[in-house]
Structure 1
């Protein structure tokens, strides 16, 4: 309907969201033949994708004139080149270096339930039997959906600004809590380590000397399920053996690292 406005958290703020570029405050006062809202319906987007749209980013392309904010929105989209999907028992999230739209196909059992994020410009799921298609465009958070029950990702189409398809999509599945081997080790003065975190929660990653004293805190706070990299710079520490300790949800992993100057 005319008078409808779009485009994220600033939509319906009274500034240039109507089809003709005027404020939507006046949009509702005109007849539908004089002013049409530029809107994108999520169910239409899903139907378009199911009929063969090759790139989810294409749904933001439109022939209608844009208001100044909508134009600015599209012109400022940062193109993404790399995408990482993080699959856990609790759902699916992602990391990217720019704007991304997704069409993701899942297969699952009858006990599978899904709750798609409400933060996306378009965010919907459609389930037929044991197959679910998820469409999320311009997500405002890294979470795509939360879920219960096992699922498999059978297909991913990812697109970025101006309808460019992203070919580099990696799927990561942290299965067990733990640190990989720090590298380099021995080291001088920096070493890095990755932590696999299969469930979200409070995480502590610290460096201890052999007397049990904390020498450095690499992280202390809440993290979502993912794989994280931490680096310790021991430039101010004395040469010797140290303990790298990670803790989360009752899980503990410790390894020895050697600083040699």
Structure 2
């Protein structure tokens, strides 16, 4: 199968081509739209995309491992596979871990069709005929969180100025970046300082990269229980820094960075994180 990350990277060249992909359904059929297939799949490359067909395939529910053969298409800003055939490999599979990013980081094409988790403060709630759009902010940036009526999600607990956590797929509509939530358990309101602290990491940590081994791109994640000056480098086996992923001050939280290794040779690399007088290392294997 073709990694979905490769489809993202080669979209212009592959538009209209037939590709085979395999992944786990993150938003199933008849969730964000009924009567047709408008759903999302994600694979081990760490990227996802939309599956679209005028016919509804309700067996493609969340957690299904499926192989899909279909036509790559860019529908406005949505990366999709359409006119597809599929084979279910397994059901009830674990979902990919959502990339935990900030509101500012979510404002990027990088997360199109991909499962992400964002925490922000509600600044407005706008109800339309088919959906409700909740705008969240982190003080500097805004993001639209979309709840389609067809999901049946109860958002009565959401109020302006409340902080909440949202899991969904990234996307864009009418020049605005969005996060689409598909399920009731994928959002929660954070009430009070105690619960807020529960959402912060407890330790400094360089989290497992994914995928690893990888081809061209890997997502590097780290967590900070408190604000700190931080440096995250990629070094080769001779100890030379080949790329710096981050250098500077960061608030407490969980961060993700996608390393684009297109210009690097296959081999073993090491991610080194230095924060608060601590040093962490993690091996990465680049296979091309």
TM-score class, shorter-chain normalisation, is: 0.3 to 0.5
Whichever structure has more strand as a proportion of its residues is 2
TM-score (norm 1): 0.39
Which structure has the larger Rg over C-alpha atoms? Answer: 1
Q: Per chain length, whose mean CA-contact separation is higher, i.e. which structure has more relative contact order (CA < 8 Å, sep 6+)? A: 1
Give TM-score scaled by structure 2 length: 0.36
